[in-house]
Structure formats: structure tokens, C-alpha cells
Amino acid sequence: MRQPEVAGRLAALALALILAAPVVPAVFSLVLSAAFLAEFLTDGALPALRSVTPTPRRESLSPSADRWIGAWLGTAPPLLLVHGYAPEGKDDPRLARAARLLARAGFDVIVPTLPGLTRGRLRSEDAAPVVQALAAQPGPWAVVSVSIGAAPAFAAAADASVRDRVRVLLALGPHASAMETLRFWLTGAFGFDGISGRVAHDPKLVRAFLDANADLVDASTRAALAASDPTAVERALDSLSPAVRDVLDRLSPVGAMPSVRARVILIHGYADRAVPYTESLRLAAARPARTDVMLLQAVGHVEAAPGSVWRAARDGVRLLLAFHALRYAT
């Protein structure tokens, strides 16, 4: 082969590599995202990400916040993981496992402890650690909230002092209205925009919820529950004092949603028995622009739901795109 031909082919190869360079990180990111989801949804039974990535480093930022740093940092934004009910806060084993996996997938992960949610209590002051974490660096941030962690996550993402630092907010199994979530837990009834249903809750879980949130439920509601009278419970809830209603309003992400400037991705399982999927619909209706809702059959609350391989594969593709958006959302 003549030298000009060699030089020409080398130049063509160099040009191809230059043109492909921007694509390679995106493809690599998709591979990491797919491996993350495979391992997360199988609760570690399929170590797809763990087997190909080094163990992340865990740093203590304070007694109530940790940072998880992986080896593949680069294009990913810092990620703030806002937990739901987690008795051990940032040290909760399932939360730590999720943070570790996110770090393996290339995110610089910050995990604060939210004191109220360690006891299953909805409290507006739990937004303060989230705001504090966002204020610590300019971002742009990706925020992931889990379950009732939506209340502090959306409150922080709407806070004028830090909301411009949040690029994307992904909420898994979020509630929109604290009032409707309370109704759901006490009566099993849910509904929004013509959709309605009812589920039966384990009485032990209901009692635990009541004990953790005693100040949100008055004596008449407790009496109606003790008498197993759903109609009386509904009447009692409709007659809650203005003070309690004010607290519930402040704990409702639907009120903060219009002030959130980030792209919002809502992921909810049809089979969710902790927070009904209609809550994501209610939340999206409060700010339809730049809000995506994914209702999935392959997801329960924050775990995989049993079902067919086809259903899991179909929903898995949608989850992959949502997870990928954490890195590249605009």
C-alpha cells in the first residue's frame, strides 16, 4: 500500500474517532445505567455493576451526611439522594446500598439524614438538610427522592435560595398531597381525576403510622378507626382543624411544584401499596411543563414487582431512559 493511501486511511480513522468521541461517553453512561438498574431492581442478586466497577469511597461530611465517590466521575452532576422512611438515616443499609450503586454508576452522591423521616414522621423542618446540601456547591445538581422524601426534596427544589442549582429532580413513588396520603393510609381509598380505588392496609402498619404522626390525627379520627368505621374516618378527616390542615399543606409537594424550576421525572408503580400512583398524576398536574410521568407495572413502591419478563423488559427500557436523564437532562 502506498504511503499516501496509508496517510489517507489514517486521516479517515482519526476523523471517525473525533466524530465518535462525543458519543462514547453517552454510550458508556447508558451501559452503566443499565447495569445499575439490573443490580438495583434485583436487590443485588444480579451484580451487573458491582462486578465491573471499583468499590466507591465513602466520606463523612458531618455526623448527619455522607458522600459516596466512585471511580467513574466525569459528565455526571453531583447527586443528592433524599431518603424516605429510613430508621438509620444515611446509615440505613438499603439507602447505603443505593448510594453505593449510584456512585459506581458515576455520580458524586451526597446523602443527608432527615431526622423526621428516620421515625416515619412528616415534618417541614426536614427540608433544611436538603437545602443545606444544595447550598454547599453550585451544581447543577441531580436530586433523587424516595417515597415520602418527596416532601423535603420538592420543598428544597422550590426554595428561592437554591432552586436554580437543581437541574433535574427524579421522584420515586412520591406523594403529592399529605392530606390524601393520610386518607389513603387510614381508609385505603385513593383517587384523582376520575381514577379511584381502595386497598387494605396491614393494621400494624397503620398503627405504626399513627404513632409516628400522632399530632396529625385527632381524637375523633382515632375513635372512628378503633370502631372500624370508614365513613366516620372520612368525616373526621374532612373536619380536621385549620392548624392540622396547614401542617399537611406544608408537607405537600403539590404546593411546591409550581416553584420548582428543574425538570421533574415522576416514577410510580401501579402496584404501589405505600403511596398510590394517582399521587404522581396529581403532582404532574400542578406543573405539566417539563414534567414526565412514568407509570410502571414492573415496580411496586421502591422495589421490583413480580411479573412477566416482557413487562420487566419494557418498563426497564423506560427506567433506563429516566436514569440516563439524571446525567444529561436539560
pLDDT at 321: 81
Greater pLDDT, 245 or 81: 81
Q: How confident is the model at residue 8 (pLDDT cuts 50, 70, 90)?
A: very low
pLDDT digits (tens, 9 = 90+) for 263-291: 999 999 998 988 999 999 999 999 999 99
Rounded to whole angstroms, how far apart are CA atoms 218 and 215? Answer: 7
pLDDT digits (tens, 9 = 90+) for 149-184: 999 999 999 999 999 999 999 999 999 999 999 889
pLDDT digits (tens, 9 = 90+) for 289-303: 999 999 988 777 777
Percent residues over pLDDT 70 in the chain:
87
Q: Specify whether the CB–CB gap between 44 and 97 falls below 8 A.
A: yes
Q: Specify whether the CB–CB gap between 312 and 260 falls below 8 A.
A: no
Rounded to whole angstroms, how far apart are CA atoms 35 and 51? Answer: 10
Q: How confident is the model at residue 13 (pLDDT cuts 50, 70, 90)?
A: very low
Greater pLDDT, 218 or 295: 295
Q: In a 3-state reduction of DSSP, which class is residue 327?
A: helix
Q: Which residues, including other chains, have CB under 8 Å from residue 257's CB and lie 6 or more apart?
A: 154, 158, 176, 264, 283, 286, 287
Percent residues over pLDDT 90 in the chain:
46
pLDDT for 22 beyond 60: no
95-99, long-range: CB < 8 A, 24+ apart: 97/44, 98/40, 98/146, 99/66, 99/68
pLDDT at 275: 93
Amino acid of residue 239: S
What are the structural domains, with CATH classification, of the chain?
25-177+252-328 (3.40.50.1820), 196-246 (no CATH)
DSSP string, 197-233: EE-PPPHHHHHHHHHHTGGGS-HHHHHHHHTT-HHHH
Mean pLDDT of 61-74: 85
Return the number of other C-beta atoms located less than 10 Å from residue 12's C-beta.
10
